[in-house]
Amino acid sequence: MLRTFVGLYLRELGGWISISALLELFADAEISHSSTRSAVSRLKDKGELIPERRELLTEGGVGSSGVAGYRLDPRSLTDLERGDRRIFSYRVQGGADDWCLVSYSLPEVDRVKRTQLRRQLMGLGFGAVTDGLWIAPGHLLAEIEEALETLEVRDRATIFLTRTPLTSEPFEQAAAKWWDLDRLAGRHHEFLSRYEPVAEHLADGREAFTLWLRCVDDWKTIPYVDPGLPASALPDGWPGDRSVALFALLRSRLEQPARDYVSSAAPRRQWRSATKQDR
């Protein structure tokens, strides 16, 4: 949930927040100070949050002797922007849109990279046609290109853009073998059961912040495991359309009052670094 908070708000706060404001905001979300400190410590150890003391600048000069806080590692910005696109711009494959197929061959000596590539493909929402052939909606082309380059295996993979593959069985049955649709449907049903009861509730302030933070935290992995398959690949009664619409409704009701609450609790002021880094 701390990662969710960072993605939602830290950039808007200027990339830095005092530890006291962070602790109080998470206390508002009914998360203890000790749990928040533990989460901060984990992200600090991973280099995603960097400890830094800052001084408040006023018209008369420096207005504080140094406030402990954390700033966002600039190297995280690309990942956060990529996450924004997936989470808030969920895209569904159209009937006439291309599919993206990835074929690769990595020998046993490259077992580690082969395992990493499989995890990347699954994490992006690709389905496994065979061991070395994966498929996903064509709008994921740029993401898989980047993943292949990052793993340094682009030269051992070939990407095809194609219309709907011609399978010997109905395409819906083939898709059920390539993706675990029961698991995906379960994720959508879980989100629906948790948030449909509160969808019409008009929340503001602390309540909007708490609900929106938890909502995004529960939603954010769904667009990665469900890449936006078209109706032709899905069984009747697919719950994905309902959960996508529900998330959009909750966003329209909660996002702005939650943002306003965070801004009031941790206002963006003129801060100056007190030290290079508080270790």
DSSP string, 28-60: HTT--HHHHHHHHHHHHHTTSEEEEEEEEEETT
**Residue 262 CA to its chain's centroid (Å):** 20
Query: Among 1, 62, 43, 6, which Cα is nearest to 266's?
Result: 6
- CB distance 11 to 72 below 8 Å: yes
Q: What is the pLDDT of residue 279?
A: 40
- The parts of the chain modelled with pLDDT lower than 70 are 57-65, 268-279
Q: What is the pLDDT of residue 277?
A: 47
Continuous segment of H or E residues that includes residue 150: helix 141-150
Query: pTM for the whole thing?
Result: 0.86
- CB distance 87 to 216 below 8 Å: yes
Query: Same CATH fold, 99-163 and 2-79+265-273?
Result: no
Q: What is the pLDDT of residue 54?
A: 85
Q: What class has domain 99-163?
A: alpha beta
Domain ranges, ordered by start, for the chain: 2-79+265-273, 99-163, 180-264
Residue 267's φ and ψ, nearest 5 degrees, are: -60, 145
- CB distance 16 to 54 below 8 Å: yes
Q: What is the pLDDT of residue 266?
A: 83
Domain 2-79+265-273 fold: Arc Repressor Mutant, subunit A (1.10.10)
Q: How far apart are CA 14 and CA 37, in angstroms?
A: 21
Mean pLDDT of the chain: 90
Q: What is the pLDDT of residue 61?
A: 55
